[in-house]
Homo-oligomer: A and B are copies of this chain.
Amino acid sequence: MATIADVGRRAGVTPSVVSRVLNGDPSLRVRPETRERVVAAARELDYTPNHAARALRQSRVGTIGLAVHDISNPVYAPLIAGAQRAASTHGYVLVLADVPELARDGQTFARVVGSGAIDGLLLLPAGVEADRVVEEAVAERLPAVVVNDRSQSLPSIELADRAAMSLATDHLLDLGHRDLAALRLDGAGHRARHRTEGFERAMRGRGVPVGDDRVIDGGHTVASGRAAMEVLLSQPLPPTGVVAASVLAGIGALTATRDAGLGVPDDLSIVGVHDVFFAEFLTPALTVVRLPLGHLGEVAVERLVAMIDGDDASQPHLLLDDPAPELVLRGSTAAREPRPDASSPRRRQ
């Protein structure tokens, strides 16, 4: 690989001049033809600045870490894509890290956080202990932003979780359902709590009572959603509608209902929060409330980049409520008592 010295030799100038020309130093006054010679020499030698040397000199590496619990969780794919896009725009590269692994192995963690290998960290918490470990270890040592939840110790950006859950609940209430259950998110995060509050608020808003045994833990996977739905179906009088705080749990609820020999949406309506690309390929396709995950990823990166650049995080917590949660009508929800007219949405499109 060609170095800056090689370029300088070829162009007949010192390395300083090469560096300044190539980096567009405005305080440099140099003859146009010299400038051209430098640029030409760099091109001819296929010169690329050495990443490590530049990082060492500038104390900035150009990478942003993204700490997630499960890379393959399809729900967060749009968020990761959005973060990637914004990072690229700002000249950063995204590095994926595994939260459980970070929390387990202090060695790895120190290398990531303390070594200057990344300029900042985006953390997607899941409401578990490992998140706290990572949050505390990171605080004061590295620019960091908690994404998709609220944090005590770090700046954070959350989505309109209450509004989303309320929208989903209102949808079922609008369809005439009164006997509703909610599948709560697991974990101890704000996100989990806000989603549940959104359900309760919507119910209260219509003066519909919520039974104690009608808000149960549905987890955030298909399997946990199945299990939760089986509990609801074993109740003396099962609900006629279910609001799932996790779209994956909602899918589990759908398959459990079907396996129990009941019809969706004929016997039970189901709506989930967050869209996932295969929700529309289920039978019936799952009605969901969509939240701007891609936008969240972009905003989070922009905020982190501002922090890296030294712009203070004046606003510690941000609620990203624009664009607003959006109801995506598919086949899993229908009016409680089907009417002869076609106004109730039974099938997508």
Contacts and interface: CB of A to CB of B under 8 A. Distances in A.
A55 interface: yes
Interface in A280-312: 281-283
Given A1-B116, A93-B117, A84 B61 contact: no
Interface stretch (A74-82, A159-167, A182-190, A206-214): A74-82
Contacts of A74: 72, 74, 77, 278
B56 A53 contact: yes
A61 B51 contact: yes
A255 B110 CA distance: 49
A278 B258 contact: no
A101 interface: yes
Contacts of A72: 74, 77-78, 80-81, 277
Interface stretch (A19-27, A42-50, A230-238): A42-50
Given A94-B96, A251-B281, A282-B281, A114 B52 contact: no
A84 B98 CA distance: 9
Interface in A87-120: 88, 93-98, 101, 108, 110-117
B282 A114 contact: no
Contact of A46 (B49, B94, B114, B277): B114
Contacts of A80: 71-72
Interface residues of A, number: 48
Given A72-B78, A88-B108, A93-B95, A115 B48 contact: yes
A222 interface: yes
Contact of A282 (B49, B98, B115, B283): B283
Interface string A52-63: 110110000111
B48 A114 contact: yes
A131 B94 CA distance: 21
A42 to B, nearest CB: 11
Contacts of A101: 88
Contacts of A63: 95
**Interchain residue pairs A-B with the least CB separation, the first 5:** A72-B77, A48-B114, A283-B283, A52-B55, A52-B56
Interface of A: 1, 46, 48-53, 55-56, 61-63, 71-72, 74, 77-78, 80-81, 84, 88, 93-98, 101, 108, 110-117, 222, 251, 254-255, 258, 277-278, 281-283
Given A88-B98, A258-B283, 6 more contacts: A48-B113, A51-B111, A71-B80, A72-B80, A88-B101, A251-B278
28 contacts: A46-B110, A48-B113, A50-B56, A50-B116, A51-B61, A52-B52, A52-B55, A52-B56, A71-B80, A71-B84, A72-B74, A72-B277, A74-B74, A84-B98, A93-B95, A93-B97, A93-B112, A93-B117, A94-B96, A95-B95, A95-B96, A96-B96, A222-B278, A222-B281, A251-B281, A254-B281, A255-B281, A258-B283
